Structure 1
Amino acid sequence: MIKLILSDLDNTLAWAGEHVVTPYAREAIHAAQAAGVHFAPATGRAPSALPWMFENDTACLTTVLADNGQLIYQDGKLVHEVPLDLGALRRCARSLDGMDDAWLVLDYVDTGEQYAVRASADYLEKYRVPYFFAVAGTVDEVPDRPVVKANVRVVGDFVRGREVRAVLKESCPEFDFVFPMQERPHIDILPAGWDKGVAGEWLAHNLGLSNDEVCCFGDAENDLPLLTRFKNSVAVANATPVAAGAARWHIGRADQDAVADAIFDIARSTAAGEMPSFMRGEDAASASDKRSSR
Structure 2
Amino acid sequence: MIRLVLSDLDSTLIWQPDHTVTPFALDAIHALQAAGVHFVPCTGRIFRDLPRMFAGDESACATAVTSNGQLVYLDGELVEKVPIAHEALVAVADELRGVDDAYLVMEYGGEKVAVGADLGFVLAHPDNFWRVETALSEVPDEPCYKANVRVVGSFERCREVAAVLGAALAELDFVCPMPGTPHIDLTPHGFGKDHGGDFLMERLGLTPDEVCCFGDAENDLAVLRHYPRSVAVANAVPAVRECARWHIGRADEEAVAHALLDIAEATAAGRMPSFMGA
Report the equivalent of 1:95: 95
1:170 to partner: Cα distance: 2.1
Report the equivalent of 2:56: 56
1:19 to partner: Cα distance: 1.2
Residue 230 of structure 2: which of 228, 233, 236 is its match? 233
Q: Secondary structure at the match of 1:239?
A: coil
Report the equivalent of 2:275: 278
Q: C-alpha distance in 2, partners of 1:62/1:51?
A: 9
Residue 148 (str. 1) matches residue 140 (str. 2)? no
Q: Secondary structure at the match of 2:127?
A: helix
1:10 to partner: Cα distance: 0.4
What per-residue deviation string (whole Å, max 9, x for no partner) do you get for residues 119-150 of structure 1? 112201211x3135510110010011110000
Q: C-alpha distance in 1, partners of 2:130/2:144?
A: 20
Report the equivalent of 2:39: 39
Report the equivalent of 2:112: 114
**Count of paired positions:** 278
Q: C-alpha distance in 2, partners of 1:8/1:187?
A: 17
Q: Secondary structure at the match of 1:266?
A: helix
What per-residue deviation string (whole Å, max 9, x for no partner) do you get for residues 189-246 of structure 1? 0011210123212221111111110000000100011111111100001001110110
Q: Secondary structure at the match of 2:185?
A: strand
Unaligned segments of structure 2, at least 5 residues: none
TM-score normalized by the length of structure 2 = 0.97
Residue 177 of structure 2: which of 170, 177, 180 is its match? 180
Q: C-alpha distance in 2, partners of 1:92/1:132?
A: 20
Q: After the TM superposition, which parts of structure 1 deviate over 3 Å for at least 4 consecutive aligned residues?
A: none
1:61 to partner: Cα distance: 1.2
Q: Do the aligned residues in 1 keep the contact of 2:103 with 2:150 (CA within 8 Å)?
A: yes
Aligned residues with identical type, % of pairs? 55
Report the equivalent of 1:220: 217
Return the letter of the residue paired with 2:14. A
Report the equivalent of 1:6: 6
Q: Secondary structure at the match of 1:94?
A: helix
Return the letter of the residue paired with 2:263. I
Report the equivalent of 2:75: 75
Q: Secondary structure at the match of 2:28?
A: helix
Q: Do the aligned residues in 1 keep the contact of 2:155 with 2:180 (CA within 8 Å)?
A: no
Report the equivalent of 1:290: none
Q: Secondary structure at the match of 1:176?
A: strand
TM-score normalized by the length of structure 1 = 0.92
Report the equivalent of 2:265: 268
Unaligned segments of structure 1, at least 5 residues: 282-294
Report the equivalent of 1:291: none
1:94 to partner: Cα distance: 0.5
Q: Secondary structure at the match of 1:88?
A: helix
Residue 126 of structure 1: which of 113, 124, 129 is its match? 124
1:184 to partner: Cα distance: 2.1
